[in-house]
Amino acid sequence: MPAHPAFQPGKVAVITGGADGIGLAAARHYQSIGMQVCIADVSQEKLDQARSQLGEVLAVTTDVASMADMERLRDSAFERYGQVNVLMNNAGQAQHNTSWTEHAAWRATLETNLWGVINGIHSFTQAMIDLGEPGVIVNTGSKQGITTPPGNPAYNASKAGVKAVTEALQHDLRNTEGCQLSAHLLVPGFTYTGMVKKFLPEKPDGAWTPEQVVEFMVASLDKGDFYILCPDNDVTREADNKRMAWAIGDLIENRPPLSRWHPDYQEEFDNFMNP
């Protein structure tokens, strides 16, 4: 299958959270096919390290929670390259929180993970449409934004918001006359990124590498997929499908919320997963 027309030599990709993990792996891939790359990250130190690996890239210190920073990122990319064909709203963070504690962690997580995506959309979308060329916006979500497991409600809420925002964006783009821009939701599986390395110094066997995620993403975009739901070495697509079906079943069947983790429903869930 031919590559998506936005992923061609000379085209330009802007990646937030581009100094580490999936963002850095994406930058390497885009460079390997002859694209121009702009990486953005809140950490100047990480940007310097990434630039030393990547070589000729535009690196812009950016706090995605700031609309002014995102507009400055857009202006820097257009001034340098004259176009942006691929935007990856990929920056993210996770902090410990519960439903009624760590209010600051809630705000910081939502500001980065959800408002960072919203700011990216508002900063770049019209300018990318105006180019009149095929382009893509990829927003990084999470399976936790779909099945919302207990343990990190702020992260779950932020990624559930990314899913809703990206679905609405794609609807609006496909109903905009003459628009050649499309939106896509990247949903990584268990991936060994910087956030995971803080807790696990060595890559678990079950985790994918960021490079595997990017390879899967590019193949999915070539097929025109909106939902880019990545498996990993532990969880198959079939298992993901069943978990998502069970989660929406809580609403349909009027079960308690998060019944997958409710002791009264454990046997029923196990039988559902392994009939």
> Distance (Å, rounded) from C-alpha 136 to C-alpha 228?
13
Phi, psi dihedrals of residue 176, rounded to the nearest 5°: -100, 120
Residue in 30, 81, 155, 265 annotated catalytic: 155
Cα–Cα nearest to 65, from 55, 54, 73, 75? 73
3-state class (DSSP) for residue 105: helix
Report how far apart, in Å, the C-alpha atoms of 251 and of each of 64, 244, 261 are: 34, 12, 15
Which residues, in sequence order, are CB contacts of 137 under 8 Å at separation 6+? 86, 87, 88, 89, 120, 121, 124, 125, 128, 169, 181, 182, 183, 184
Beta strand residue intervals within 7-100, DSSP E: 12-16, 36-41, 58-61, 86-89
Which residues, in sequence order, are CB contacts of 265 under 8 Å at separation 6+? 255, 256, 259
Beta bridge partners of 58: 38
227 in active site: no
Catalytic residues, which ones?
155
